[in-house]
A = this chain, B = another copy of it.
Amino acid sequence: LAHNVTLAPLMAVDWGTSSLRAALVSGDGIVQAQRAVDRGILTVEPGGHAAVLREHFGDWWSLPGVRCLISGMAGSRQGWMEAPYCTCPSGLDELAASLAWVEPGRVAIVPGMRCERDGVPDVMRGEETQVLGASALLGIDSAWMVLPGTHSKWVQVHAGQVVGFATWMTGEFYGMLREHSILARMLPTGEETFDGPAFDAGVALALRGCSLMQSAFGARTLALLDRLAPSERLSHLSGVVIGEELRCRPAGAGARVVLVGSEALTMRYERALKHCGVYSLRVGEQAAWYGLHVLAGRWPS
Contact = CB atoms under 8 A, between A and B. Distances in A.
Interface of A: 118, 120-123, 151, 166-170, 172-173, 176-177, 179-182, 205, 208, 210-214, 216-218, 221-222, 224-225, 227, 241, 244-245, 247-248
Given A169-B181, A172-B182, A180-B176, A211 B214 contact: no
A300 to B, nearest CB: 29
Nearest to A205: B120
Given A172-B182, A211-B244, 20 more contacts: A120-B218, A120-B221, A121-B222, A121-B225, A121-B227, A122-B221, A123-B225, A151-B182, A166-B214, A167-B217, A168-B217, A169-B213, A169-B216, A172-B181, A176-B176, A176-B177, A176-B181, A210-B248, A211-B248, A214-B248
Contacts of A225: 121, 123
Contacts of A211: 168, 211-212, 244-245, 247-248
A203 B103 CA distance: 46
Contacts of A181: 169, 172, 176
B168 A221 contact: no
Nearest to A176: B176
Q: Top 9 nearest A-B pairs by Cβ distance?
A: A210-B248, A120-B218, A168-B213, A167-B217, A176-B176, A180-B180, A169-B213, A211-B248, A121-B221
Contacts of A120: 205, 218, 221-222
Nearest to A119: B205
Contacts of A208: 118
Nearest to A85: B225
Nearest to A168: B213
A210 B118 CA distance: 12
A123 B241 CA distance: 21
A1 to B, nearest CB: 34
A282 to B, nearest CB: 22
Query: Chain B CB within 10 Å — which of A180, A181, A214, A222 has the most?
Result: A214
Contacts of A179: 180
Contact of A214 (B168, B182, B217): B168
Contacts of A182: 151, 169, 172
Contacts of A177: 176
